[in-house]
Amino acid sequence: MQKQSVRNTTSLFADDPHEGTYCCLGCKKEIKRTYVPFIKKYGISTACPCVVAEREREQLESDRRYRKGKMERVFSRSIMNDNLKQATFQNFIKREGTESVLSAFKEFVRTYESRKTGILAYGPPGNGKSHLAASAHHTLDHQGYVCLFLDFPQLVEIAKGTFKNHSKVSITDIVSAAVSCDLLTLDELGAGSLTEFEYKDLLFPILNGRQGKLTNFTTNLNLEQLEMWLYKDKSGNVLDEQGRLFDRILGSVDIYENKGTSKRREDALKRLNEGQ
């Protein structure tokens, strides 16, 4: 039997039953056909790897568009302030004490595909934790990943809004969108006092559902304070008696203390001195 190549076709079956090879137009690789008796033609039993990769890429993009659309419907109003919307690694102002956490977030982005752990950055207010977390969020979002950045106090307000009769979003919608994204960033964790509703209906199901997925956190609390914030609500009622959620958080992140001073405080003092 004479061996021929198929030109300018993506058909898996040759019109000529004597054609025994298929030439992929993508990688130009020839694939041997197998004769299929019941249709009396030669076909290929497996697709070319480049065709499979292209179909997988298209499916991934379709899935990401679906999840991003769902996420944007749930969080229709922005919960990121204007300064953080402009945050990049390039416009982050380095100060003493910020070196390790800056390097950690850059490395997080660089190794995102192979990472098993997110980042928990803690330290005093105003020293750039949120800026760096937002920079990582923006970078990966621009690369096509489905990324969600949630300021925790504002997330709570959105959740409370579901109690209104005219609300088109439910708590289930909020939790589902937060669980399904590729990267979740919870900013300002530990702000205010945690309630039973916020713990049992919001925070726990989100973080429990994200086991195995990457989540980044920023907090002004140290680890002991964060454990106590999760342990009891503002009325002193026990929420996380066995420390399950705190344990899940610690087990899913690399921990970095941002020892930098407050940029906001430095700017305020500078304005004060200039005005004198």
pLDDT confidence of residue 190 = 94
Spans of the chain below 70 pLDDT: 1-28, 31-48, 51-53, 76-78, 262-276
| pLDDT value, residue 208 | 94
Of the candidates 78, 69, 133, the one whose C-alpha atom is nearest the C-alpha of residue 106 is 133
For the chain, how many residues are written? Answer: 276
What pLDDT does residue 6 have?
40
Distance in angstroms (rounded) separating the CA atoms of residues 146 and 180: 9
pTM value? Answer: 0.75
Share of the chain residues as helix, strand and coil, in percent rounded to the nearest 5: 45, 15, 40
**Domains in the chain, ordered, with CATH?**
77-275 (3.40.50.300)
Packing angle of the helix pair 152-161, 171-180 (nearest 10 deg): 140
Q: Give the model's pLDDT for residue 113.
A: 95
Here the contacts of 220-223 (C-beta below 8 Å, separation 24 or greater) are 220/122, 220/123, 220/124, 220/125, 220/188, 220/190, 220/191, 221/122, 221/189, 221/190, 222/122, 222/257, 223/122, 223/250, 223/255
User: What integer pLDDT is reported at residue 232 of this predicted model?
Assistant: 92
Chain centroid to Cα 154, Å, comes to: 18
The pLDDT value recorded for residue 23 is: 66
Q: Which two tokens stand for residue 138?
A: 């923006």
Nearest 5°: the CA angle 97, 151, 160 is: 155
Identify the H or E element spanning 199: none
pLDDT tens, residue by residue, 94-132: 989 999 999 999 999 999 999 999 999 999 998 899 999
Give the model's pLDDT for residue 74.
Answer: 81
Q: How many CB atoms lie within 10 A of CB 110?
A: 11
